[in-house]
Structure 1
Amino acid sequence: MMDIYDKINEMYDRRTKVEMGGGIERLEKQRQKGKLTARERLHTLLDDDSFLETNPYMEHRCHYFGMEEAEAPGEGVVTGTGTINGQRVYVFAHDFTVMGGSLGEMHAKKILNMMDLAAKNDAPIIGLNDSAGARIQEGVAALNGYGEIFYRNMKYSGRIPQISVIMGPCAGGAVYSPALTDVVIMVEEISQMFITGPKVIESITGERITAEELGGARVHNEKSGNAHLIARTEEEALALVRQLLGYLNSSKDQEGNLEWQGEQHYRDSLVDLLPDQGEKPYDMKAVIREIVDEDSFTEIHAHFARNAVVGFGRIGDRAIGIIANQPKYLAGSLDIDACDKIARFVRLCNSFSVPIITLVDVTGFFPGVQEEHHGIIRHGAKVLYAYAEADVPKVTVILRKAYGGAYVALNSKALGADVVFAWPSAEIAVMGDEGAANILFHKEIEGNDDPDAARREKRKAYKERFANPYVAAGLGMVDDVIDPRETRIHLLRSLEMLGGKGCKNIKRNHGNIPL
């Protein structure tokens, strides 16, 4: 009969076997690819000595296709809880060294347990994805496991932060779980996401393409928009997770009062950043960096739909979400991709009580047959819906152009903006002076002996009427016209004034997927 010490030794032997995953050779092969192991990833992500593993001894119960003889230590996934900067999080990390990290019934159950615990404890869930996909031997049981995960992704969307880091292959049905989460981070030359792999595509369509060309980190950050952030290394990707949670997980606990601490908030450089010529582009990111706390801006979707800028920052150490037009690309106009990018980010901020600051310099919705045929109306409506739905503090600053429906869509008073400021350079009108003159004074211009001179005169008259913010201010659509150099001061005071707004700590469950 074994005594207690023998049983303790046996326990440690079992534990060691689980922690070794697929064995020394497979662990080393993982490292040779420039990848961390599942456990190394978790220890890099979490605070030191904070990880508590759950269900390490769970085993599959499949008896088909030789699985009755197959060992899968830990079921190919490491699950548990720990802290990031002292805040509780729940995590799972696929272990590619165990059956390629493939998902089966019990593998899924381990993940589901973590997701449910995260929801019960109002804490983020972080998934480190590195999996060959569904475990074919388990058939429909594996598919059902994915379905259960998708259901929870949606059920908990908008209630707890959900972050996915792609650290290897993610193919077939597996891609839909990351797509349902709030933020997707990919690693260059390591991550791939696609529904149909290169070999299947070639066999069906004849197209030849590599996995990296089809679904690599660059593709999804620049073209498809399926990923939000790109990292050069796994360590950098995990650092981004820690950084993001500082915005998503701390905003709930912030008070309305902001500490000024004698900081200098006046920004002379803001005047020089705006060109004298109204048509000349400039970099909106330079404006953002002057408005937020030093080095606090983290851009999301930086390489996708560059005519819009979205991201997190801090003002007076308070987390904020920033949406802005980017005049450097498409004159800051709103095309289909920019609309989707903005709407999704507004809903993300609203879900986690992050105040929204909108910086407007927009010529309108991007014109063109392709945009119309591809549904710019439908996509533009997402922006309207997201802003109107959001009940967190919402402050708008109009820097230069604010034309047409795009002016309305970007957090105007009509859509529920709490405060709207305008710089003296702001132009708020149905359209630009050239288009307006051609429509309003068409007959007068064409009937004039000198049409070009008449057009210039009419453009000048229209511009004098609308190329300033005072008409809108007179109608209450702009709350105040401010000195650009005092923008940060006005934003600080507005956030202080709106500190109690937003149903703090009440779970909205709006989710992150625009309607």
Structure 2
Amino acid sequence: MLSEQELGGVDVHTRYTGHAHFVETGEARLIARARELLHWLPANHSAWPPVFESADDPERSVPQLEQLLPPDAQTPSDIRPLIQACADEQHFFEMQAEFAPNLVTGFASFGGQSVAVVANQSLHLSGAVDPAAARKYCRFLNFIASFNYPLISFLDVPGAMPALAAQQQGMLSTAAQIIHSLYHVRALKISLVVRRMFGGTYAMISPKSGEGDLLFAYPQAMIGVMSDAAMKQVLAQSAKGQQQLAAFAKTGLRLDDPLLAAASLYLDDIFEPAETRREIIRALQHFARKRVQHFPSKLQTNPPL
């Protein structure tokens, strides 16, 4: 016989269903958390997201990001300190922290402008997208689309979860839902490839696929169908592939080098991690008040995915 907590308790709805976004130990703390959430929201769907007073220098460099990113891209790394280091007053308001922890969602401000933030968390499942993370992502995208929120994405994703359980849970359909939800976010969409962007997530997670505005990358980022090492293994299996590898070696680039994406005009810029805060704020200022014309009075529904 299952107990009430086992059937529908806090742990069930924070970790497994995602129905509960926050858990607090007392009423006062819960009210404070609700007030903080309301602090980030506009008055209604037709109002712009709030702009705050901030004493944090918009031109501030973030040199500590070099230490936050491990040299080996396969080494798990917490993405939260990176987001916090770049945000105003180093503050990040996270939502649904316990549910699908391989994806981080929340709010921050850059140069006073409030923004929605999405990031892959490599501490869990290496940051791969599974059905739970996809549902969390879609739910958040639908929520922010209702309020004109600019979207900042920090990408570090090795691909979609290849496990049998993920496929049985409808990974393909949830991937399609992500692309659909991204398209309905009509405010400014900025993406930054922090480390990896491989496989189907190249189209699924990057807002460029949903009429995104800007895609940035760090010099050490890896972008492609698969990693440089994996692509070399595949090409080395045929004589033609070996010839292609020999010819490509003369360029001095990796097969997943961001310069290749930039050459194809897929990337808008490549910059050092220390410049992250400055570049995001400049982009927000340049595209300030972006709005697609001919919107209906109600931007879109907010389905409980």
Alignment TM-score > 0.5, same fold: yes
In the alignment, does 2:271 pair up with 1:482?
yes
Contact 2:107 2:114 in 1 (8 A): yes
Shift of 1:261: 7.0
1:273 maps to 2:60: no
* Cα offset, 1:264, TM superposition: 5.4
Structure 1 counterpart of 2:34: 241
What is the percent sequence identity of the aligned residues? 29
Q: Residue 13 of structure 2 aligns to which amino acid in structure 1?
A: H
Residue 216 of structure 1 pairs with residue 6 of structure 2 = no
Decide whether the 8 Å contact of 2:106 with 2:118 is kept in 1: yes
For residues 366 and 303 of structure 1, the distance between their equivalents in structure 2, rounded to whole angstroms, comes to 19
Residue 468 (structure 1) aligned with residue 257 (structure 2):
yes
Q: Between the two structures, name the one with larger relative contact order (CA 8 Å, sep ≥ 6).
A: 2
What TM-score results when the alignment is normalised by the length of structure 1? 0.53
SS of 1:320's equivalent in the other structure is strand
**How has the CA–CA distance of structure 1 residues 362 and 263 changed in structure 2, closer, same or farther, with 3 Å as cutoff?**
closer
How do residues 170-209 of structure 1 correspond to structure 2 at under 5 angstroms? 208-209=1-2
Paired residue type of 1:513? P
CA distance in 2, matches of 1:295, 1:398: 20
Partner Cα separation in structure 1 for residue 19 and residue 56 of structure 2: 41
> Which residues of 2 match residues 97-176 of structure 1 at below 5 A?
none
Find out whether 1:374 has 2:164 as its counterpart. Answer: no
Alpha-carbon separation, structure 2, partners of 1:475 and 1:284: 28
Tell me the SS of whatever aligns to 1:236: helix
The residue type equivalent to 1:245 in the other structure is L
1:355 matched to 2:150: yes
1:510 partnered with 2:300? yes
Aligned to 2:110: 315
Change (3 A) 1:261 1:360: closer
Q: CA deviation at 1:314?
A: 1.2
Deviation at 1:216, TM superposition (A): 1.3
**Offset at 1:486?**
0.8
Amino acid in the other structure paired with 1:303: E
CA contact (8 A) 1:400 1:426 kept: yes
**Are residues 1:385 and 2:180 paired?**
yes
1:236-315 aligned within 5 A: 236-249=29-42, 252-253=47-48, 262=57, 265-315=60-110
Q: Determine the C-alpha separation between the residues in 1 that align with 2:300 and 2:151.
A: 16
* Distance of 2:15 and 2:114 partners within structure 1: 26
Distance 1:408 1:244 in 2: 31
Partner of 1:226: 19
CA distance in 1, matches of 2:98, 2:54: 34
**Conserved? CA contact 1:350–1:392, under 8 Å:** yes
Residues 259 and 287 of structure 1: CA distance in aligned 2, closer, same or farther (over 3 Å): closer
Equivalences for residues 331-480 of structure 1 within 5 A: 331-443=126-238, 464-480=253-269
- SS of aligned partner of 2:194: strand
Change (3 A) 1:499 1:236: same
Could you tell me whether the CA contact under 8 Å between 1:256 and 1:499 is conserved in 2? no
Matched, 1:491 2:286: no
Which whole-Å CA distance do the structure 2 matches of 1:234 and 1:270 have between them?
37
Residue aligning to 1:113: none
Instruction: Give yes or no for contact 1:218–1:230 (8 Å, CA) kept in 2.
Output: no
User: C-alpha distance in 1, partners of 2:53/2:217?
Assistant: 23
| Displacement after TM superposition at 1:491 (Å) | 0.6
2:222 corresponds to which letter in structure 1? E
Distance 1:245 1:437, change over 3 A: same
Tell whether the 8 Å contact from 1:292 to 1:313 is kept in structure 2 after alignment.
yes
Contact 1:256–1:496 (CA under 8 A) maintained in structure 2: no
Bigger shift: 433-442 or 255-264? 255-264
The CA deviation at 1:507 is 4.2
Larger Rg: 1
The whole-number CA distance in structure 1 between the counterparts of 2:54 and 2:183 is: 30
What amino acid maps onto 2:21 in structure 1? H
Cα pair 1:356 1:392 within 8 Å, conserved: yes
Asked if the contact 1:333/1:363 (under 8 Å) is kept, the reply is: yes
Q: Is the 8 A contact 2:128 2:159 kept in 1?
A: yes
- What is the rounded CA distance, in whole Å, between the counterparts of 1:257 and 1:233 in structure 2? 28
SS in structure 2 at match of 1:492:
helix
In terms of mean alpha carbon deviation, does 427-436 or 477-486 score higher?
A: 427-436
**Residues 262 and 342 of structure 1, relative CA distance in 2, 3 Å threshold:** closer
Please give the alpha-carbon distance, in whole angstroms, between the structure 1 residues aligned to 2:273 and 2:115.
19
Consecutive unaligned residues in structure 2, runs of 5 or more: none
Give me the CA root mean square deviation.
2.8
Provide the rounded CA distance (Å) in 2 between the counterparts of 1:246 and 1:507: 24
CA pair 490-256 structure 1, distance change in 2 beyond 3 A: farther
CA distance in 2, matches of 1:256, 1:502: 17
d(CA) in 2 for partners of 1:497 and 1:260? 20
* Residues 389 and 219 of structure 1: CA distance in aligned 2, closer, same or farther (over 3 Å): same
State the one-letter code of the partner of 2:64.
S
Instruction: Measure, in 2, the Cα distance between the counterparts of 1:285 and 1:507.
Output: 35
When residues 209 and 395 of structure 1 are mapped into structure 2, their CA distance, relative to the original with a 3 A threshold, is: same
Q: 1:262 to 1:509 in 2, by over 3 A?
A: closer
More helix by share: 1
Aligned 8 A contact 2:215 2:269 in 1: yes
The TM-score with structure 2 as length reference comes to 0.88
Letter matched to residue 27 of structure 2: E
**Alpha-carbon deviation of 1:232?**
1.2
